[in-house]
Structure 1
């Protein structure tokens, strides 16, 4: 088993430069804690930014110490890149947009350039240390371009990605100018993980609408790669928090808190000082609670703890001022001699005082406006070994989907939060225990170690499933054999589809007109002695004649209806009629009217419903409805309904690419046959080929073809290689 390379923006070690050297402080964050179990079972290396170290000599020394003492490999960044990549794109663009604060989102090209540059720098550092059998696990929103960059350099590597913040709905994500780059970057991973199913669903929707890739049970197959999308709710170190109240240091902290807070009920609020956490709304709801339920005045204290966060950003400075003012106003309005409604601390807590606060709190008030997971809610429940205490949690927190026995509220509904506080403070102890025991059992089973291990197990499953695709991929050894067979053959037949095989897809069929590169390649290939080149397409014969008529190649139009051999006129494969069109056209027109962006293409003996430019989900829905409608309508008309890539085609039955290709296949004893296609219509062609033929399917979907190639670019590259051999071996 290879190593595990863990990649994140920051290392799990905090490095502080002191006089005479450096001091290292292991991180106690959730990610570092969660991956401890994997680090025990894998040989691992953690790759990330250690902090601002500019001196080259100091960097070399630090790199050596981090590797030997902590199994870490540093990625050094310039102050300018830190400011624009981290402070800029990561936290002024991605963070607010993904947390549903588009008004705070900054779209700055220089931020994007820095983000792309730093992701490439991470890629280069990983390539310096990666081994062929390593597994690479990339974490969080700072490095969303990295999976694709790694895939391009390490095509066979096992690459996982986990996003620790929400993934927004398509309607928000589409605001991002670099949306395609982000999605393509993430799809470079074999497994893309999110905290909740909702986030995974939003991601899949964005992939469909922006990139055009649909999914099947979370599996997305692009032309280059197959990726799995799934949800893995992150857990906590349950045993650590469950056993915290037995620690002497925690018990001392509990006694101190009891002395300071007296015998009042305690409502605990702990958060980073971030606009996504809904702290002002929480304070306003607490104020409403005191106003609406005056009987609780003097009997309850809100212990408000905010950890400083991103103090250099304007929104955070304004938020700090707003919170200070709200605390002052509420304390001034409701406080009395001997009772302060809100005890306010603005500092970062270490484990012992944090656990003590969980232990003394009668209620935990966790009401973010948007949160990827929120481990505070889970830590609070785990710490309450006696089963007492009530959790109030926002439905906008990822953890809410796992903690349904808590009081789940809308954080924007102040009256609902106030009512939940009143309900929580008077909830009978037996009900508290009954609710909490269920959540504790769940959190104990799915702890942070389980989260990490389940992700790695799924990644291994995905790689095994990909083997089915990779077995048929035209790898180097098979490619070399194909080239040798071509070079040694005297008579060669090349049967080539056009759209999706020699070129990509376009919004309208006429936009796919071939450029000089493709035309010259086909002409050169046809000119090689012993070669017979046939272009097989679903397009009409007039288009094929216009585009390819003077290249000296054979042409097959409308999926086999029309055939044109070299230096001969077009002929129909068999007598056909198109009288059926009058009955079918109104049906297609009805679906075009119901599907904005769709249109009808009319060929000599076929009608085609195109929906590539339609809204993806609507287009797919209408296409399914249309197919069902047409199958009933054409049952007795000797017509065939074909589903292609974003098209539905109606044509005469019994006519297909394979039947037309037999005109050439049966004509001679070919020494070499190659056929290439990309969709269902090409399966008929692959089915009639002799076993010795080389059949190539563009894309990774299942096929009768012997081999797969990822894209038209790979097909053109292979044909270029073959045509260069032709004159010497024909």
Structure 2
């Protein structure tokens, strides 16, 4: 069972500390019993891996295994400090409160949220453990960068332990309107936890505004523009917390270099050949999550087949659905629904040796994904709600040939940066069908012009610029309210 005792305070401390639910690595055990660590898949890890290059720092997170945590270790020059979680805490803090309470509320309540006091208590307990772990490894005056919705209480908990450090928090998912956020019985505690930070970064301006508005309406705090005034209590002085948009991006230069390697380009050609060399390859790449709009996408595709607007073998659809949170009931139900739909479509519209849909329920390494992106004529990024969606940026980066077309949901953070894409409302099935057809049939010259604009935007606003903007905003965040704000707080 995990212990809440602090780690050895004689260990090395760091000027930059990252805190996230997971460490950026997974343990791998080979057939002969040899153990090693492998970089984890996922947008956060990929983004922060690029950010941490050339920066010496520590990363605090869960190693992915229940029970006693591994001892701190160094991997690829990064000092990793595992935080222990028991199986019950994984059930209550992670699967429960994080993904069955917060995730639905923060994604427009696409499925109902569950409210359980035991889950909230586990969430508090684990956040306290993370805060202590960060406090142990942060040097005097260190910069601490906390990530995402699983750790929303850490900023205030850490501030109480270490008022000397600079605290930033970044939200990788949407932050909901106050009308949805207010459903949370523990809404005040979450806001107070976040207000322990000096600076809060969000994917979209609307998310930052939702947070500021929640502080005003739920906590009754004074707000002005993108700032919230936190009154002083006891010996603690009044503070000003800033919240603004800093949209995340990718390591575009590194991914483009990978995509241009002969091995990846050869693999892309092999993928198309293995699919029967169709005229058009449609591609979806998502975690198997109800927010990603996979069922809506399949419905649109099935109707296009039924109407004869497209048909195999000229057109085929590849859907990569990475396994996700399979212990949560809503995700198990989603998998059943998706696989049932795929089977029905293939049974009705496929032929011997010609599948209408190629459904792949596992993850792939970056090299394979880069090849898939180059093999796809139309990329379908159609979530019902998404903080950013880095797949859209990865696709256009891999299309160094300026080919392809991106169909993009207007409910992604990416849409705010990539207006030139073929934009859709995934709830509008008829509109989604017409957008897919436009992406297929638009003149190649016009599609190249669109792709050039998308690629330029992503390359100019890469992950390094994102990190630079966030850290600069954190370094310059206001510390004290003005005399006028103090008078009205």
Is TM > 0.5 for Structure 1 vs Structure 2? yes
Matched, 1:402 2:410: no
**2:140 match: secondary structure:** coil
Aligned to 2:360: 345
Preserved CA contact (<8 Å) 2:25 2:40: yes
TM-superposed deviation, 1:246 = 2.5
Matched, 1:27 2:35: no
| 1:127-155 deviation per Cα after TM superposition (whole angstroms, max 9, x unaligned) | 22222221000000110001011112222
Aligned to 1:177: 185
User: In structure 1, what is the Cα distance between the partners aligned to 2:193 and 2:33?
Assistant: 42
Equivalent residue runs for 1:52-71 within 5 Å: 52=65, 54-55=67-68, 59=69, 62-66=70-74, 70-71=78-79
RMSD: 2.3
Equivalent residue runs for 1:20-99 within 5 Å: 22-52=35-65, 54-55=67-68, 59=69, 62-66=70-74, 70-99=78-107
- Structure 1 stretch displaced more, 119-128 or 1-10: 1-10
User: In structure 2, what is the Cα distance between the partners aligned to 1:291 and 1:53?
Assistant: 48
Matched, 1:702 2:483: yes
Matched, 1:450 2:231: no
TM-superposed deviation, 1:701 = 3.5
User: In structure 1, what is the Cα distance between the partners aligned to 2:40 and 2:312?
Assistant: 40
Equivalent residue runs for 1:215-614 within 5 Å: 215-223=223-231, 224-264=238-278, 265-294=280-309, 296-462=311-477, 465-466=478-479, 469=480
* Structure 1 pair 333–703 and aligned structure 2 pair: CA distance change class (3 A): closer
Matched, 1:143 2:151: yes
| 1:473-527 deviation per Cα after TM superposition (whole angstroms, max 9, x unaligned) | xxxxxxxxxxxxxxxxxxxxxxxxxxxxxxxxxxxxxxxxxxxxxxxxxxxxxxx
User: In structure 2, what is the Cα distance between the partners aligned to 1:142 and 1:193?
Assistant: 15
TM-superposed deviation, 1:53 = 5.2
Question: Which TM-score applies when normalising by structure 2?
Answer: 0.91
Preserved CA contact (<8 Å) 1:191 1:227: yes
Preserved CA contact (<8 Å) 1:140 1:165: yes
Preserved CA contact (<8 Å) 1:267 1:301: yes
Matched, 1:165 2:173: yes
**1:365 match: secondary structure:** strand
* Structure 1 pair 42–295 and aligned structure 2 pair: CA distance change class (3 A): closer
Matched, 1:213 2:221: yes
Aligned to 2:8: none
Preserved CA contact (<8 Å) 1:151 1:157: yes
User: In structure 2, what is the Cα distance between the partners aligned to 1:84 and 1:279?
Assistant: 27
Preserved CA contact (<8 Å) 1:3 1:42: no
TM-superposed deviation, 1:441 = 0.9
* Structure 1 pair 257–133 and aligned structure 2 pair: CA distance change class (3 A): same
Aligned to 2:22: 10
User: In structure 2, what is the Cα distance between the partners aligned to 1:39 and 1:270?
Assistant: 26
**2:94 match: secondary structure:** helix
Higher relative contact order (CA 8 A, sep 6+): 2
Question: Which TM-score applies when normalising by structure 1?
Answer: 0.61
**1:339 match: secondary structure:** coil
